[in-house]
Amino acid sequence: MRSTPFTPRLPAWVGQWASRCSPAPPPEVTDSLVAFQFTSIHRQIPTLHLAALINIVLVDYVLWHQHVPLRYYGWTAAVALFSLCRMVMWHRRRAAGTDPAALIRFLRGTNIAATGSVALVSLFSAVSYASGGLDFPLLIPISLALGTFSIAHCLAPLRFASIAALLVGIVPTAAVMFASGDFMAMVLAVSMTSVALLKIGFLRDYHRQMIAMLALHHRVETLANADTLTGLANRRAACEAIETALAHAETRGESVTVALVDLDGFKGINDTHGHHVGDALLRIVGERLTAHAGPCALVGRLGGDEFVLMLREEPGGLSVDARLTWVIARLCQPARIEELTLPVSGSLGFASSPADGRDLDTLLRAADEALYAAKRSGKGRALGQEAVRRQAA
């Protein structure tokens, strides 16, 4: 199941506005987006929390030095402890090899933690400035603004968290400062707000560029790994996937089956009805193989009218022989193309590791031998290397 990046529940009008400002990513890049978001902020978040700790300590020291009662700022120790815990968690978290669902949960925590902590500090900043009594009344607002801009920059890949941090971190304090009537405070409030608006525009453009980059990467990867006619894995991608599966099966003591499928009489269809009909038939064959090989099988096109399948053993399920016999039986059904009803026939040969070989080249040669034995036996059937050996004996 494809993962979905964390999106908080918002009122309908807010959601519509957000969609226009920054459209949702295409479904095919959502997993890549989650991984990119996590990787982008993985190294920055611990440093950001460390900076937050330092700023909290400095502000608390100034308040203590001015003899402000501890009850007014003592609660910031909880924020400092929370930042310390999050810093340790992010430092210990590994970005590579993590399930997208787990990354989404962690990113959700980052959204909530960032917005909540900035909101608390922003409220404290607004209240402390409005109450007066400090020798340096702009110290906390300026410190908050610098921290908020830093947080928004580090969280730029997380659109909601970065924009929310700017809004809750800047707007309340800036409003209180502007309402105070103090000229310097009003100028600073306008400056803070204008920079926040510019930053939001930057974040919107950054998010669009990020999605465009991931979509382009996905397209390039698809073109590199997919057969342009059928959409199946091409020869390179299929061979790499089979080699990876063989390596894993070797360590677990499991079996992997490689099957080759070749259409019977395909050249005659091309010569009689044209290449456009032949191409349509190849697409139908790819769809049938994918539909009937099983959800865990790999289906690829090696070229021409030759396809490759990879199946893993299913404990308690049908034997590989029975599964591939079913596949070839479903494949060999008439196909309707334009106004034509064409017969479809194919032969299949397969070999399994480790009995017929432990590497890809050996298995492909064994499957190819079984394929031509199936053609000699009358076509339209599946034949394994074990049956070939029995026939030879």
pLDDT at 138 (0 to 100): 85
**pTM attached to this predicted model:** 0.64
Average pLDDT over residues 27-48: 81
Helices (H) and strands (E) in the chain, counts: 14, 7
Across 362-383, average pLDDT: 91
Is the model more confident about 330 or about 15?
330
Query: pLDDT (tens digit, 9 = 90+) per residue, 199-216?
Result: 999 998 898 899 999 988
The Cα 376–Cα 254 span in angstroms is: 31
Amino acid 375 reads: K
Residue 255 has pLDDT above 50, yes or no: yes
Reply yes or no on whether the pLDDT at 52 is more than 60: yes
The two tokens of residue 319 are 């034997």
Q: Which residue type is seen at 313?
A: E
Does the structure show a pLDDT above 50 at 6? no
Residue 96 has pLDDT above 50, yes or no: no
Q: Which residue has the higher pLDDT, 95 or 370?
A: 370
Nearest CA among 348, 354, 266 for reference residue 299: 348
What pLDDT is recorded for position 57? 83
15 — pLDDT class (breaks 50, 70, 90): low
For the record, the structure tokens of 266 come out as 């395909």
The rounded distance, in Å, linking the Cα atoms of 56 and 120 is 13
Predicted local distance difference test score (pLDDT) of residue 275: 92
% of the chain with per-residue pLDDT over 90? 41
Cβ neighbors of 360 (< 8 A, separation 6 or more) are 239, 242, 243, 246, 258
With cut-offs at 50, 70 and 90, classify the pLDDT of residue 98.
low
What confidence tens digit (pLDDT) does each residue in 257-271 have?
999 999 998 999 988
CA separation for the pair 326, 130 (Å, rounded) = 78
Q: Over the Cα atoms of the chain, what is R_g?
A: 31
- Summarize the confidence of residues 38-43 as an average pLDDT: 80
pLDDT given at position 1:
41
Q: Among 170-174, 220-224, 359-363, 382-386, where is mean pLDDT lowest?
A: 220-224
Query: How confident is residue 245, by pLDDT bands cut at 50, 70 and 90?
Result: very high
Q: Mean pLDDT check: name the lowest of 8-12, 124-128, 258-262.
A: 8-12
Q: Give the pLDDT band (50/70/90) at residue 317.
A: low
Work out the burial of residue 315: count CB atoms within 10 Å of its CB; fewer than 13 is exposed, 13-18 middle, 19 or more buried. Answer: exposed
In this predicted structure, the answer to whether residue 331 has a pLDDT above a threshold of 70 is: yes
Q: What is the DSSP string of 39-65?
A: HHHHTHHHHHHHHHHHHHHHHHHHHHH
On average, the pLDDT of the chain sits at 85
